[in-house]
Amino acid sequence: MIAEYSSRLHHYQARFRMPKEQLELLKKESQTLENNLREILSLIDQIGVLKALLRDMRDSSHNYSWTTVGDILEEQDSPEVLDEEMSNLVHYVLKKLREDQVQMADYALKSAGASIIEEGTSESYINNKAKLYWHGIGFLNYEMPPDTILQPDVHPGKCWAFAGSKGHTLIKLARKIVPAAVTMEHISEKVSPSGDISSAPKEFSVYGITKKCDGEEIFLGQFIYNKTENTIQTFELQHKAPESLLCVKLTILSNWGHPKYTCLYRFRVHGVPSEDT
């Protein structure tokens, strides 16, 4: 696979000397390469998450066999039993990975129709180190777009970053709702490749926006995401909106100490849908 990419990149380099009318084709093929590479990186991240969870579960239960409820738990040493235990452990971890702990509809979900309003959103953090180079020419950036926070696949590095500890984003929901709660999600220190999650958000506030996302701001609450607790934390709103809303503003007030940027993995909005869509 690497040899194939190398060959294609060499082909791209030669194309830089071609007429301008062929640059558009080069751009499309470069985008295809970028998408393929990101998919590979995503799969690598998923493998890392699974390995970390397996290690964590094995450390907490290495002295016991995984048996059905009511069976006597006792130490087992035979290879057959160990294989069965590992099989049960894998199925358990996979179930946990797929499980939605919140059990509430997410009206800020991109696949359901929600989106980010760029004009009301902080600029993304530019990390010059997150780039691939070919003969001194940078051709691929790793910055994730703001709508990354509206998607469910949470893996290390797949987050939207903005500079500093303060930022905001304006979200157009999938439909009008009366907001009732929000959920913030981040990765844990165990899963983080660096073992550090100081870029996680800490204090944040939520506002509802009236009219068609350009009206008055309605304060709905201020909260603290605790990085030492569950990675998925749901907060009931402190103030009720007087009407159904189509847009919500998330304002990050601080992070957990990272001096350069704050990284958001996923943000959800829950509530009661309005009859007026």
What are 29-51's pLDDT values in tens digits? Answer: 566 556 556 666 666 666 666 66
Query: What's the distance, Cα to Cα, between the start and end of the chain in Å?
Result: 47
Query: What mean pLDDT, rounded, does the chain reach?
Result: 79
- Structure-model confidence comparison of residues 67 and 20, the more confident one: 20
What are 109-122's pLDDT values in tens digits? Answer: 999 999 999 999 99
Residue 155 has pLDDT above 50, yes or no: yes
- Structure-model confidence comparison of residues 260 and 54, the more confident one: 260
> Residue 225 is inside which H or E element, if any?
none
Helices 23-61 and 79-98, interaxial angle, to 10°? 130
What are 195-254's pLDDT values in tens digits? Answer: 999 999 999 999 999 988 888 999 999 999 999 999 999 999 999 999 999 999 999 999
**DSSP secondary structure string, 38-97?**
HHHHHHHHHHHHHHHHHHHHHHHHTTS----TTSPP----SHHHHHHHHHHHHHHHHHHH
- Structure-model confidence comparison of residues 266 and 128, the more confident one: 266
Q: For residue 206, list its beta bridge partners.
A: 221, 250
Residues 108-124 as b or e (16 or more Cβ within 10 Å = b) = bbbeeebebbeebbbeb
87 vs 90: CA distance, rounded Å:
5
CB 149 within 8 A of CB 265: yes
Q: Give the single-character DSSP code of 156.
A: T
Q: Which pLDDT does position 241 carry in this prediction?
A: 94
